Structure 1
Amino acid sequence: MRPPATQHLHATSTRGGPSAQFRLVGAVARPATYDLAALQALPAASVTVGEHTYTGVRLWDLLDAAGLAPGAGSRREILASYVVATGSDGYRVIVALAEIAPDFGNQPDLVAYAIDGAPLTSGGFARLVVPNDRKGGRHVSNLVSLEVLVAPATR
């Protein structure tokens, strides 16, 4: 028997154009929409990837501020939870919460709003940056949504 299907957010596509906001939804107590001002109001962090330094908000801090929903913040649920990041062109990647949780992988993934001290431009106002991703395939430009999901239990 197959586990029940998980409902996923279908981000509204702007056909790959620059994004001006993104939604944080799913297994969080306080879903929200973020624009540049809202991101800049949060504690800033920086990471260097190759020749560039990105400034933004650590992904874990953003999720923690949104309040991981009951259960999603427990040790067991963190190991079974993930974030789907979607760009305006429909490009999607997955980041496991255990990768970024301070008690586990502590990876400094960032929702960046600046590169080398200048605002992002053609990449939209926000970009998911995964610093230790060797090929950069999980960087998502023109971010339009972050959805926190918990993998369904199997028997």
Structure 2
Amino acid sequence: MSPSPTTRPATATTGHPARLTLSGDLARPALLTVAELHAWPVHHAEVAFECATSGIQHHRFSGPRLYDVLSAAGPGFDPVRRKDRLRFLIAVSGADGHHALLSWAEIDPDFADAPVLLALTVDGAPLDRAGPQLVLPQDRCGARHISGIDAIRVDGGYAPWS
């Protein structure tokens, strides 16, 4: 069985302060530690992205898929609305103030199925102290790679047909 988020306060088992808050339109909002994220199935991605200051970067990232972690948190899809999950947005915030926005369709296996990671290692080096990094292998530019993620909010509020 895959790990699932809990609503209990997380305690760092490795002495690091990194915590990730999952909130929004979720049945099971959570506060997760990097140690808890290590229990999820690990996926790998070889990524090349352009950085404005240092040119093209090549890295290997590993960690759980964002889709798996958020699915376990129970997004509030309306089963009566056809394709309701397509209106959901995912806002990711880093401790350094950087933000990124994704649509649910980008990470959903029934649609784009992008292998978006909550990376726990980069080039074999652990990110335990800094916290997970959002990695979008499909992005040519690394602007949505967010380091030290501290919050992810799922929002199903966008419904132009309401």
TM-score range with shorter-chain normalisation? Answer: 0.7 to 0.9
Correspondence 1:129 to 2:135: yes
- Rounded to whole Å, the distance in 2 between the matches of 1:97 and 1:148 is 9
Unpaired segments ≥5 residues, structure 1 = 1-17
- Correspondence for 1:6: none
The residue aligned with 2:55 is: none
Is 1:87 the equivalent of 2:94? yes
Residue aligned with 2:140, SS? coil
Give the whole-Å Cα distance in 2 for the aligned partners of 1:72 and 1:23: 25
Question: Structure 2: how far apart are the matches of 1:59 and 1:73?
Answer: 25
Q: Are 2:158 and 1:152 equivalent residues in the alignment? A: yes
User: For residue 135 of structure 2, what is the amino acid of its counterpart?
Assistant: V
> Are residues 1:30 and 2:36 paired?
no
Shift of 1:72: 8.0
Residue 140 (1) aligns with residue 138 (2): no
Runs of 4+ in 1 over 6 A off after TM superposition: none
The structure showing larger relative contact order (alpha-carbon pairs under 8 Å, at least 6 residues apart) is 1
Aligned positions, number: 137
Question: Given the alignment, which residue of 40, 48, 53 partners 2:46?
Answer: 48
User: Bigger CA drift: 72-81 or 139-148?
Assistant: 72-81
Alignment of 1:111-130 (within 5 A): 111-120=118-127, 124-130=130-136
Structure 1 residues 41 and 134, CA gap change in structure 2 (3 angstroms): same
Deviations 1:22-79 (A, max 9, x none): 1011111111111111100111111110221101110101111111124289652221
SS in 2 for 1:105: coil
Which residue pairs with 2:68 in the alignment? 61
1:76-111 Cα offsets, whole Å, 9 max, x none, are: 222111100001122111010001100000000000
- Residue 132 of structure 2 aligns with an amino acid whose one-letter code is A
Normalised by the length of structure 1, the TM-score is: 0.80
CA RMSD of aligned residues (A): 2.2
Amino acid paired to 2:59: H
Q: Distance in 2 between matches of 1:147 and 1:33?
A: 12
**In 2, distance between residues paired with 1:66 and 1:72?**
16
**Relative to 1, partners in 2 of residues 1:63 and 1:73: Cα closer, same or farther, differing over 3 Å?**
farther
CA contact (8 A) 2:120 2:128 kept: no
